Structure 1
Amino acid sequence: MMLITQSDYNRIYRVINSLLVNENANPATASMYFSTFGAFILEQHFKIKAKAKSGLAAYNLDGKYILFADQRDDGYVSGAGENFHCWVVADDWAIDFMTPTFSQSTSGLVIPPKMFQRPLSSMRPSINDLSQSGDFFYRSEPDATSRRFADWQKNPMIGDLASLAANWFRKSPRKMQASITVRHQDGKSSAVPLIGNSLVGAW
């Protein structure tokens, strides 16, 4: 059982990915786009209550241990600093629409593009318990998230891109446009093609 199908997950990931590539978005902040736009699409198209979260995130993907966190002076790791990650929580599911891009956004990391959609109940108790591929651990940092998103969402482009993403997306098996026209601040328009990795399964 899954909250959304792999096909719909793939479409949401590709729509957001295509818009970010077109905007030359910074991979370091890409998870903010993937989570907020993904949550917006889930609410708009699926009527699912979804929320973007951010903080510490840790994954075991194909035996590769991926940690988004800062090491503090006292030895603890924290997701409240610069090295944070964002994900979506929806109906007791954790969904990360960015995992298919991990190999592109992290140098030296080679993992296959797969869907990450897991019940929150399957989350491991700590970052030291990620023994199997697909294991994950999140620790949300609400205060840091509020500060982070408050500044970021002041940019008027964010709302425009979120609306574009939601307008472009179509639930499978409906046909999706192969490209979308984006109007820029200088009045010019350009076509953004639908691009992204083809998924090869799920974590």
Structure 2
Amino acid sequence: MGKFLLPLSEYNRIYQVTHGVLQGIPDATAERACLFFAAVGGYVLNQCYKIRAQVVGGAFCLCVGDGGGEVATFGKLEDGQLVSGHDAFHVWLQTDTHIIDFMAPIYREASADYPKSADLPRKMMQRRLDEEIPNLDALAHTGDFRYYPDPALTDKLLDGFLAKRFNEDLIKVAMAWYGKRRAKQMPTFAMQDEKGHVTRLSLAAKVATSSW
């Protein structure tokens, strides 16, 4: 099994298109749109790469500094355990072999409450399932990670997301802009709403430069 399913350039392409669509929505906050990143990424992996990828919601933690003291978390601690809820969760993709998070390049913005968030590097999150640490106490080295899937929460999040026609339309825009897997990516794209208003989208400039 390879270390990555996607090379960095292809990972960044999916991330840039997804982020670029969000940048064209006035009220969208990209660093809070983990479900949209997962949804678009899942469509691309399933349809363009023929890689079975499932959207998963729950809690997540990532060690961002050696020693175990610096940990970025998405979720909430209850009785010493990291759990998720409607007010504290993250969403990612899971394949048969890997965990992939296309929102990872903007963890810096998503972790604004973390004291050293400004120092978080822009990296991709694409790791083999067998690299996951066994528990929170084992978080010791940069890149150590642990996910806590919540199937019930995932179903509710997806049901709410897909019930909105607007979200489906945005996914279609992202897929049209992405185009074919081996085609050259267009740097800009015109998005038109039902009233005929055109918004010019541009690929996100901030990209991952390495991997966690």
Aligned pairs for 1:69-84 within 5 A: 69-72=75-78, 74-84=79-89
After superposition, the CA RMSD in angstroms is 1.8
Residue 70 of structure 1 and its aligned partner are, at CA, apart by 2.0
Residue aligning to 1:8: 10
Aligned letter for 1:70?
K
Q: Distance in 2 between matches of 1:75 and 1:32?
A: 26
Residue aligning to 2:136: 127
Which ranges of structure 2 fall in alignment gaps of 5 or more residues? none
Aligned residues: 202
Distance of aligned partners of 1:62 and 1:175 in 2 relative to their CA distance in 1, 3 Å threshold: farther
Q: Deviations over 1:57-90 (max 9, x none)?
A: 0001244311111233x45331134110011001
Residue 173 of structure 1 and its aligned partner are, at CA, apart by 6.1
1:153 aligns with 2:153: no
Aligned letter for 1:69?
G
Does the CA contact (< 8 Å) of 2:62 and 2:145 recur in 1? yes
Counterpart of 2:23 (choices 14, 21, 24) is 21
Does the CA contact (< 8 Å) of 1:18 and 1:192 recur in 2? yes
Which ranges of structure 1 fall in alignment gaps of 5 or more residues? none
Q: Distance in 1 between matches of 2:58 and 2:194?
A: 33
Counterpart of 2:197 (choices 185, 188, 194) is 188
Q: Distance in 1 between matches of 2:179 and 2:142?
A: 31
Q: Distance in 1 between matches of 2:49 and 2:181?
A: 12
1:178 aligns with 2:187: yes
Counterpart of 2:91 (choices 86, 89, 92) is 86
Residue aligning to 1:54: 57
> TM-score, normalization: structure 2?
0.88
Distance of aligned partners of 1:129 and 1:112 in 2 relative to their CA distance in 1, 3 Å threshold: same
Aligned letter for 2:104?
T
Residue 95 of structure 1 and its aligned partner are, at CA, apart by 0.5
Does the CA contact (< 8 Å) of 1:58 and 1:67 recur in 2? yes
Residue 166 of structure 1 and its aligned partner are, at CA, apart by 1.8
Counterpart of 1:116 (choices 112, 125, 132) is 125
Q: Deviations over 1:102-153 (max 9, x none)?
A: 1123325021111111001110111221111111100100011111221122
1:68 aligns with 2:74: yes
Distance of aligned partners of 1:170 and 1:185 in 2 relative to their CA distance in 1, 3 Å threshold: closer
SS in 1 for 2:186: coil
Residue aligning to 2:105: 100
Residue aligning to 2:45: 42
Q: Distance in 2 between matches of 1:181 and 1:27?
A: 19
Q: Distance in 2 between matches of 1:13 and 1:135?
A: 22
Does the CA contact (< 8 Å) of 1:35 and 1:96 recur in 2? yes
> TM-score, normalization: structure 1?
0.91
Does the CA contact (< 8 Å) of 1:41 and 1:165 recur in 2? no
**What percentage of aligned pairs have identical amino acids?**
27
Distance of aligned partners of 1:102 and 1:184 in 2 relative to their CA distance in 1, 3 Å threshold: same
